[in-house]
Amino acid sequence: MTQALTRTLTFLFALLAMNAFAEDNHDYPLGPGDVLRIQVFQNPDLMTETRVSEKGSITFPLIGAVEVGGLSIGAAEKKIAAELKDGGFVQQPQVNISLLQIRGNQVSVLGQVNRPGRFPLETLSRVSDMLAAAGGATLGGDDFAIVTGLRNGNSFRKVIDIPALYLGDKLDEDILLAGGDSIYIHRAPVFYIYGEAQRPGAYRIERGMTVMQALAQGGGPTQRGSEWRLRLHRKNAEDVVKKISPEMTDAVQPNDIIYVRESIF
């Protein structure tokens, strides 16, 4: 067996072994911290090991910086092959990328969660997986998660309705995460109730909450108060506070202040 044939067979066996992992994780998006081994068939001098930078790029021989952040393994292979061919460096490049280190990838989960912090990104990790790792949202957390990061070298931002992931038909909203992504859950919107209420204070606004439900959340009026003598203070778009006499069926909005007045009798 010639030395050239031996090298060829060795490369092919290695290629098959490395592809077993890559094929099982075809949709895995590359991100900052990933360590890659990149090989070009019959071009051993181009074999390189590199880490994806915080900006989502790598440096590859002959072609320099290549943006791979957010690309799948297959898409990154095609991009490098195209640049090698377009640059006239390799006529028919066959590029193979294998992941040497994935746990270097981390996702930050911040805000109103039970265990905020940075968590290692497993392959095919989704938003629901990371929220579970962070212990889920706190009682004071919003129903929406904001995911930010990089995709194809561009800034990425998506607002995800958390309950809809489980209760609705928006399973496609449970997106795949990439290294360097951040998930942020803000404080849930609240309303305030004071005056002749049994339990004055600040309360979370539930979806579709009405003034009647808000009053019930505050324990209802005291013996001196009247549910028919409510005054609602609400800021408009110009940041001016308006005083409203609300109907019981009116929807409560964030930062509404409900004043329960004394009964006139």
What pLDDT is recorded for position 209? 96
**Any alpha helices (H) in 101-253, and if so which ranges?**
127-133, 162-167, 211-217
Residue 15 structure tokens: 């290629």
Residue intervals of the chain classified under CATH 3.30.1950.10 are 3-101
What pLDDT is recorded for position 99? 85
What pLDDT is recorded for position 165? 86
What pLDDT is recorded for position 154? 82
Max CA-CA distance within the chain?
106
What pLDDT is recorded for position 15? 43
Instruction: Inform me whether the pLDDT recorded for 215 exceeds 80.
Output: yes
Rounded Cα gap, residues 37 and 53, in angstroms = 14
Instruction: Inform me whether the pLDDT recorded for 132 exceeds 70.
Output: yes
What pLDDT is recorded for position 26? 54
User: CATH for 106-187?
Assistant: 3.10.560.10
Q: What's the rounded mean pLDDT across residues 193-214?
A: 96
What pLDDT is recorded for position 213? 97
Average confidence score pLDDT of the chain: 86
Band (pLDDT 50/70/90 cuts) for residue 161 is very high
To the nearest whole percent, how much of the chain has pLDDT over 70?
86
The fold of 3-101 is wza like fold (3.30.1950)
pTM attached to this predicted model: 0.61
Picking from 139, 133, 140, the residue whose alpha carbon sits closest to that of residue 116 is 133
User: CATH for 190-262?
Assistant: 3.10.560.10
How, if at all, do strands 182-187 and 106-111 pair? parallel
At 215 the three-state DSSP class reads: helix
Picking from 29, 177, 43, 153, the residue whose alpha carbon sits closest to that of residue 99 is 29
